Chain A
């Protein structure tokens, strides 16, 4: 940890991220009114995840954080996705063949 120096993220980056987030919001609202069948939720979640990643990397400075912080966040997200997918796998397969 001791070799890590504090990076200050400046207004230029913040303004670009702000406009990217506003553009993402406009895009996702527009896409939600287009009938894309099963792809509507996929696209909405993909745009939301892109926006969330921009917030995490730049507003929350994770891009400039220590490896320890990056590893902890990655582990946390991996655990969440594991829990969600295992729970869904259980619900999907529990009544297998009885519908």
Chain B
């Protein structure tokens, strides 16, 4: 049976990357695309929980959340949004290069995505550094002075903040807890993505992904775009809605 002519004929037009339990390359691609989306939906639920917590606490401690948000720098946030959108674009172009078998184009796109990902983390670390310097990191050394005495704080003065009562000022720590939890989880996803990008750059240079089997690049693209979408919402909720 194993060596019968019928079996040999069946195998003849099957590319090496087509697993035996799939009938066609299309079926295999559709199945893995669907599976990747199921994973992304679990990610959506995970970030959804954080977003819900943010919504509830923002309604409870509104004044504290507005004052906390005024400590973020919109210019850095906007720059990072642009960087991430550009990286999504270069990743999408990378998928196109893989699909149309452009090896050097794919390598270039992956490297650009990698660099833009690092730029995002670099800007994020500048922002985090400022939070540490101003003692806006939740914990033992958290400082309320920006919120009790806004006159002494440049960002609070620029936003025209009024001094908060002590009990409300203390709740700015909740804002920064959620800020670090949400942007930190997002940054962790970026770091994991950048690690996978390195792996893909090495493989792409060796000629992978441009010989018809593009599933890995496509699914990574989905992951990268999802991380971009999370940031689009983080930027709106953390930086923008308390600005006016």
Contacts and interface: CB of A to CB of B under 8 A. Distances in A.
A55 B228 contact: yes
Nearest to A31: B240
Give the interface size class of chain B. 35 or more
A65 B33 contact: yes
Contacts of B38: 72
Interface string A4-29: 11101111001101100110010011
Contacts of A61: 218
B89 A14 contact: yes
Interface in A74-99: 76-77, 79-80, 83-84, 87-88, 91
Contacts of A35: 244
Contacts of A76: 41, 44-45
B48 A84 contact: yes
A40 B232 contact: no
A88 B17 CA distance: 48
Contacts of B56: 87-88, 91
Interface string A55-69: 110111100011011
Contact of B44 (A9, A25, A77): A77
A51 B33 CA distance: 22
Interface majority SS (helix, strand, loop, mixed), chain B: helix
B222 to A, nearest CB: 5
Contact of A72 (B26, B31, B37, B91): B37
Interface majority SS (helix, strand, loop, mixed), chain A: helix
Contacts of B23: 2
Give the interface size class of chain A. 35 or more
A10 B96 CA distance: 6
Given A5-B26, A18-B86, A36-B244, A83 B232 contact: no
Contacts of B237: 44-45
A40 B240 CA distance: 9
Interface string B30-51: 1101100110010011001001
Nearest to B99: A8
Interface stretch (B74-82, B120-128, B164-172, B181-189): B74-82
Nearest to A50: B232
B41 A87 contact: no
Contact of A69 (B37, B99, B228, B232): B37
A2 B25 CA distance: 10
A22 B41 CA distance: 26
16 contacts: A2-B24, A14-B89, A14-B96, A18-B89, A25-B82, A33-B244, A40-B244, A44-B240, A48-B232, A52-B232, A55-B228, A73-B41, A76-B41, A77-B44, A80-B44, A84-B48
